[in-house]
Amino acid sequence: MPLETATHQSILDALRMRICLTPPTESFALFESKLAQEFGLSRTPVRQVVQQLVREGLVEVKPSIGAEVVRLSKDSRQSCLALYRDFMLIAARHCDGIPLQARTRIELSGVVAVLNGAGDKTADDYVRLTTGVHMAIVEDVPDQVIRAAGTAAFWRVMRWRAHDIRTDPQAHWPLFTSSMQALSIAAEGQALSTLIERIAGLTDRHIWSGNKAA
């Protein structure tokens, strides 16, 4: 991987994590000059990362203010879940006949192994594990617009779910573990669309049941 690409990705991952570990109803500013100093880079690659975060719906640019993390209202939680579910169902319809890649099965198996392992898990672990699964799956969605929209919806859901893990880990880690185990079983099939539909089904179950995590 080229150095510039690796640098871009490392900054992107760090800022995504920072945003997801901030309560979704709160916000903070992203100052390019401070971020450039923090990461030891010029402002150009930092600006490119901020622009990508804007496209993903995590950051917005306000006139005379600059880039800020999007603040989510408390009553938007269910609509965020519903939007993600709907985009995943659309993605599934565009994946008919596409086989599930071995790397996706490996990613899911690795997540389940980590969850079944000893030791306490953190909200950082949750964001990292869930992001790895989502990215592995949507990478094979052929329509770029659907892929981008689904990922933007994913990040909004991720902010709520990371908040759940931080505030009530004893309740939400078991829910997450059972969901990943279910996806790992679904991945034993051959179709990408089947796995994506399973994700939509898990999300839908939590929308209608009123649970806070999927």
* pLDDT, tens digit, 9 for 90 and up, residues 9-61: 889 989 999 999 999 999 999 999 999 989 888 889 999 999 999 988 899 99
Tens digits of residue pLDDT in 157-204: 999 999 989 999 988 898 899 999 989 988 887 799 999 999 998 887
pLDDT of the residue at 2: 44
CA–CA distance, 35 with 41 (Å, rounded to integer): 8
Tens digits of residue pLDDT in 90-149: 999 999 889 999 999 999 999 999 999 878 889 999 999 999 999 999 999 999 999 989
Q: Are residues 121 and 188 in the same domain?
A: yes
pLDDT of the residue at 208: 55
Cα distances (Å, whole numbers) of residue 141 to 35, 57, 87, 185: 32, 20, 11, 20
Tell which of 45, 69, 93 closes a domain: 69
CA 49 and chain centroid, separation: 16
N residues, the chain: 214
pLDDT of the residue at 1: 41
Q: Are residues 162 and 95 in the same domain?
A: yes
Q: How is 125-192 classified by DSSP, letter by letter?
A: HHHHHHHHHHHHHHTT-S-HHHHHHHHHHHHHHHHHHHHHHHH-HHHHHHHHHHHHHHHHHHTTSSBH
Using DSSP's 3-state secondary structure scheme, residue 68 falls into strand
The secondary element (H helix, E strand) that includes residue 109 is helix 102-116
Contacts of 51 (CB under 8 A, 6+ apart): none
- The two most distant CA atoms of the chain are separated, in Å, by 52
CA–CA distance, 72 with 84 (Å, rounded to integer): 15
- What is the overall mean pLDDT for the chain? 87
Is the separation of the CB atoms in 172 and 125 below 8 Å? no
Tell which of 19, 41, 69 closes a domain: 69
CA–CA distance, 195 with 187 (Å, rounded to integer): 6
Total number of domains in the chain: 2
In this structure, how many other beta carbons lie within 10 angstroms of the beta carbon of residue 194?
15
Structural domain boundaries enclosing 63: 3-69
Structure tokens belonging to residue 143: 């329509």
Mark residue 60 as left, alpha or beta (left: phi above 0; alpha: psi -120 to 50; beta: remaining).
beta
Tell which of 15, 40, 69 closes a domain: 69
Q: Are residues 13 and 95 in the same domain?
A: no
pLDDT of the residue at 154: 93
pLDDT of the residue at 212: 46
In a domain, 49, yes or no: yes
**Which CATH number characterizes residue 120's domain?**
1.20.120
Is the separation of the CB atoms in 25 and 131 below 8 Å? no
pLDDT of residue 206 exceeding 80, the answer is no
